[in-house]
């Protein structure tokens, strides 16, 4: 979710920003008033709620340092800025499109999250990104910026796309006032750094006033407590009659032809893709649900502030209890608010660490029963280039990402429930160096006419005549923002520098095999694919390729390609090196990304006076009105999208809802053997620190053994792959607890009866013993 979880090099954002140079006296007075609960979020009317009201732009969150984390201030830095002239000129490096063709190019092969994290990980990540980060220089109305287009080499032997423009458009971020001339250039974050649901409410009175039901006079405090919705979906720009008076929204791709169809939300990027728009809609509905549950004796402003407080806490609660664990990020236990912690978002996090675009699918898959959509709707979907698959009483919509970008007109016909279920329907792509061509080459571009079959896969280049490469732009953005090198950034986060390219990738060699080379397309061919069982996948088996490969080996090692591009490990761009790292255990991040995330999210928590665990009014709301913020994302979906809770995973961030433990152990004992068959017994121990609720133990039989009966669990064996699921009575394994006597009888393949060599519990590889 900069699609950092976000969007491209251009455009974006439209909320009006407060001048970064806030006077200290005014900010201190405002912060003091907030502590006493006397000033509403608009600063123009008082709410009677007995808790402090958080400002819209983050100002005053820290009373002693009211501009910490405030929108319109410069990003913080962990390491010194790195510019060629020490002030502003980006450091030169290899052409970023050339890097992309050799490193980010996925060869149209999908590789999925090894932890089986669903698309909720990148969707929630993007929703968060659009809550706490937006650089100056992207918004409608921002200064034009300095063009720094990326040269495009049509003769590159690894180039598959045409580009009539001859360049990939790139514009530098605007410099923070007073920087870049006699000192190092800094960049401005135009929104609050806090996790404060700004994507729902916006950062200014003007935007919030339009978003709330009622008048539009610049003062949201005299409006209804509910957010404005149309047919229970986000309002369009013309919802109040005059689209020119609506808050600015980012317009691109399909939406360019009819910009007034844009949906309006707290963040200008809400229309970027269908999953993001659906998430915005979900939390607008959740806000209104809370308002509707409050007594009529309360004022509309009080209802609004109570609902906003709960929404902010829900966003924080899901982030720290579901999203971060799903990504394998652990942080120290919360010990209370610390007013000496500056929560201002860091440039390293926003520009390098949080850009995980390879997790985003090149298509969005949404399923429903055969009566979910009418025949006319299905025909309309097909006319837009959406594949409709009808089988066994179910319908699946396969939406190329290019059709899902900036296409809010699809949200209501598809339906909020099916969209939200689709996000959790299968594993997301693996967070690695490979990026789908929908992002790496044709981001937000309009396809040529008359060729509806080319919107995805190997035929994609035939559908476009220009190139926008998000991966190349990410590399350039790092240079634009003066990011340190990969090794310098590792050291800034307390990690040792790497001394070889194989240390980065975890491979055994950095040499090109015969018949390959840095400019040879054969280098990118896939030599091996394997699944979550650790079993090899036949590249010709289309069924196995569907959502199952989690590891791949290409003909030329990534280390060889990096070495040929950069020459010396100390030259590697931080963004490239971070994605190339072998993942740390039990997560979808490498060591550097995990360190960046852990530091950032710890400070975003500890430096936030309004963090949910600091209890800013939340106990009062729960005791007085019975409204509890402690809901997981699946609960919120079920309450607002017409989806029964039983049809959602217990944790929607994981495929099948199964949360991986941090550690586990399996004992496997053959207790009896006889001609042609045998009996085995397994004990499963949770050696981690959190309970496991629902589990699947996966292993493979090396010699074709077939289970004939199983007890204390269930199994549907798939050739030699064995997924054993818990029984109804043993689905919970607490820390230190062992589920005993999961046993089976099975056939033997001749005299050979090799034991499984690898067991994984909800994708966590277990020790054996």
Q: Name the one residue in this structure whose structure tokens are 């004796």.
A: 297
pTM above 0.85, yes or no: yes
Nearest CA among 83, 104, 84 for reference residue 95? 104
Among 635, 69, 625, CA closest to 305: 625
3-state secondary structure of 664: strand
pLDDT at 452: 61
Residue with tokens 């509403």: 40
CA dihedral 18, 129, 611, 20 (to 10 degrees): -20
pLDDT, position 143: 75
Tokens at 683, concatenated:
């004990």
* pLDDT reading at 6 higher than 90: no
* Burial class of residue 541 in the structure, from the number of CB atoms within 10 Å of its CB (0-12 exposed, 13-18 middle, 19+ buried): exposed
Distance CA 167, CA 537 (A): 38
Query: How confident is the model over 245-290, as pLDDT tens digits?
Result: 999 999 998 999 999 999 999 999 999 999 999 999 999 999 999 9
Which whole-number Å values give the CA distances from 270 to 109, 242, 315, 425, in the listed order?
29, 20, 16, 22
Residue 142 has pLDDT above 80, yes or no: no
Mean pLDDT confidence for 41-61: 78
Under 8 Å between Cβ of 544 and 538: yes
Q: Do the beta carbons of residue 598 and residue 329 sit within 8 Å? A: yes
pLDDT of residue 26: 29
Q: List pLDDT tens digits, range 651-710.
A: 999 988 788 898 999 999 999 999 999 999 999 999 998 899 899 999 999 888 999 999
Do 669 and 692 meet the contact criterion of CB atoms below 8 Å apart? no
Neighbouring C-alpha atoms within 13 Å toward the C-beta of 398: 10
pLDDT in tens, 405-463: 999 999 999 999 999 999 999 899 999 999 999 899 988 887 877 666 677 778 888 88
Helix (H, G, I), strand (E, B) or coil at 305: helix
Side-chain-facing half-sphere of 531: CA atoms under 13 Å: 21
Flag whether pLDDT at 40 surpasses 70.
Answer: no
- Residue burial 607-617, b: 16+ Cβ < 10 Å; e: rest: bbbbbbbeebb
Question: Half-sphere exposure of residue 85, counting CA atoms within 13 Å on the CB side?
Answer: 10
Contacts with 451 (C-beta within 8 Å, 6 or more apart), sequence order: 462, 463
Token readout for 11 is: 């455009």
Question: Do the Cβ atoms of 536 and 597 come closer than 8 Å?
Answer: no
Interior CA angle at 679 toward 675 and 684, to 5°?
155
pLDDT at 482: 98
Q: Which residues contact 376 (CB under 8 A, 6 or more apart)?
A: none
* CA gap 355, 353 in Å, rounded: 6
What lies within 8 Å, CB to CB, of 641 at 6+ separation is 282, 285, 416, 417, 420
pLDDT value of residue 740: 97
How far apart CA 90 and CA 180 sit, in angstroms, is: 11
The rounded distance, in Å, linking the Cα atoms of 464 and 454 is 9
CA distance 117 to 468: 27
Please report the pLDDT score of residue 4 as a whole number: 52
Q: At what angle do helices 416-423 and 274-293 cross, to 10 degrees?
A: 120
Neighbours of 707 (CB within 10 A): 16
Break the chain down into helix, strand, coil percent, rounded to 5.
30, 15, 50
pLDDT tens sequence across 288-321:
999 999 999 999 999 999 999 999 999 999 999 9
Q: Which position has the higher pLDDT, 15 or 511?
A: 511
Cα dihedral 174/180/183/189 (nearest 10): 0
Nearby residues of 658 by Cβ (< 8 Å), 6 or more positions away? 116, 649, 651, 694, 695, 696, 762, 763
Q: Is the pLDDT of residue 151 over 60?
A: yes
Residue from 272, 301, 306, 283 nearest 233 by CA: 283
Average pLDDT of every residue of the chain? 91
Alpha-carbon gap, residue 225 to 396, rounded angstroms:
38
pLDDT value for 453: 66
Contacts of 418 (CB under 8 A, 6+ apart): 366, 367, 368, 372
Residues 265 and 270: their CA atoms lie apart, in Å, by 6
- CA 455 from centre of chain: 23
**Tokens encoding 409:** 């007109």
């Amino acid at each position: 979710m900069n699609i950092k979880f976000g969007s491209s090099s251009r455009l974006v954002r439209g909320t009006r920003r407060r001048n970064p140079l806030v006077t200290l006296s005014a900010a201190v007075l405002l912060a003091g008033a907030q502590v006493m609960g006397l000033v509403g979020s608009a600063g123009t009317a008082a709410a009677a709620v007995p808790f402090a009201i958080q400002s819209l732009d983050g100002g005053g969150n820290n009373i002693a340092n009211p501009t910490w984390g405030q929108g319109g201030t410069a990003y913080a830095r962990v390491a010194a800025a790195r510019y060629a002239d020490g002030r502003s000129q980006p450091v030169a490096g290899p052409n970023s499109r050339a890097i992309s063709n050799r490193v980010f190019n996925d060869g149209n092969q999908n590789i999925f999250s090894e932890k089986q994290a669903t698309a909720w990980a990148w969707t929630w990540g993007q929703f968060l990104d659009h809550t706490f980060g937006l650089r100056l220089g992207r918004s409608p109305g921002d200064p034009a910026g300095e063009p720094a287009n990326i040269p495009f080499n049509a003769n590159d032997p690894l180039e598959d796309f045409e580009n009539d423009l001859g360049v990939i458009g790139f514009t530098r971020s605007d410099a923070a006032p007073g920087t870049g001339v006699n000192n190092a250039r800094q960049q401005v974050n135009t929104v609050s750094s806090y996790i404060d649901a700004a994507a729902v409410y916006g950062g200014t009175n003007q935007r919030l006033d339009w978003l709330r039901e009622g008048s539009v006079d610049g003062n949201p405090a005299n409006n209804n407590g509910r957010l404005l919705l149309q047919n229970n979906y986000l309002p369009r720009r013309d919802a109040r009659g005059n689209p020119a008076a609506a808050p600015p929204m980012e317009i691109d791709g399909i939406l360019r032809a009819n910009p007034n169809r844009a949906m309006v939300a707290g963040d200008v990027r809400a229309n970027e893709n269908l999953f993001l728009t659906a998430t915005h809609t979900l939390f607008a509905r959740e806000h209104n649900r809370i308002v509707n549950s409050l007594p009529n004796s309360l004022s509309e402003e009080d209802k609004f502030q109570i609902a906003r407080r709960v929404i902010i806490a829900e966003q924080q609660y899901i982030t720290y209890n579901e999203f971060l664990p799903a990504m394998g990020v652990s942080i120290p236990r919360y010990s209370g608010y610390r007013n000496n912690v500056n929560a201002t978002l860091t440039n390293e996090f926003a520009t390098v660490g949080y850009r995980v675009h390879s997790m985003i699918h090149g298509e969005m898959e949404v399923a429903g029963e055969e009566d979910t959509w009418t025949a006319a709707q299905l025909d309309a979907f097909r006319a837009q280039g959406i594949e409709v698959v009808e089988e066994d009483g179910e319908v699946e919509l396969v939406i190329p990402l290019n059709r899902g970008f900036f296409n809010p007109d699809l949200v209501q016909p598809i339906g909020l429930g099916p969209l939200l279920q689709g996000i959790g329907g299968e594993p997301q792509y693996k967070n690695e160096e490979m990026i789908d061509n929908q992002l790496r080459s044709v981001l937000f571009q309009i396809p040529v006419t008359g060729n509806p079959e080319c919107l995805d896969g190997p035929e994609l280049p035939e559908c476009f005549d220009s190139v926008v490469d998000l991966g190349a732009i990410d590399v350039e953005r790092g240079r634009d923002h003066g990011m340190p090198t990969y090794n310098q950034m590792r050291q800034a986060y307390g990690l040792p520098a790497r001394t070889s390219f194989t240390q980065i990738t975890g491979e055994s060699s950095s040499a090109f095999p015969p018949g390959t080379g840095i400019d040879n397309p054969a280098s990118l061919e896939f030599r091996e694919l394997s699944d979550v069982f650790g079993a090899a996948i036949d590249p010709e088996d289309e069924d196995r390729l569907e959502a199952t490969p989690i590891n791949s080996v290409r003909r030329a090692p990534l280390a060889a390609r990096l070495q040929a591009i950069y020459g010396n490990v100390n030259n590697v761009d931080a963004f490239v090196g971070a994605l190339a790292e072998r993942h740390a255990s039990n997560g979808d991040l490498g060591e550097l990304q995990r360190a960046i995330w852990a530091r950032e999210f710890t400070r975003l928590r500890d430096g936030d006076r309004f963090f949910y665990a600091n209890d800013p009014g939340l106990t009062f709301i729960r005791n007085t009105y019975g409204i509890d913020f402690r809901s997981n994302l699946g609960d919120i979906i079920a309450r607002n999208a017409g989806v029964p809770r039983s049809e959602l995973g217990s944790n929607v961030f994981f495929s099948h809802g199964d949360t991986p433990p941090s550690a586990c152990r399996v004992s496997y004992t053959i207790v009896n053997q006889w001609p042609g068959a045998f009996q085995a017994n397994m004990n499963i121990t949770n050696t981690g620190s959190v309970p496991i609720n629902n589990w699947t133990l996966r292993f493979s039989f090396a010699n074709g053994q077939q289970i004939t009966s199983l007890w204390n669990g269930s199994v549907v064996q798939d050739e030699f792959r064995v997924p054993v699921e818990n029984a109804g009575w043993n689905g919970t394994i607490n820390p230190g607890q062992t589920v005993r006597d999961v046993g089976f009888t099975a056939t033997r393949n001749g005299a050979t009866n090799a034991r499984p060599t690898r067991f994984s519990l909800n994708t966590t590889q277990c020790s054996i013993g």
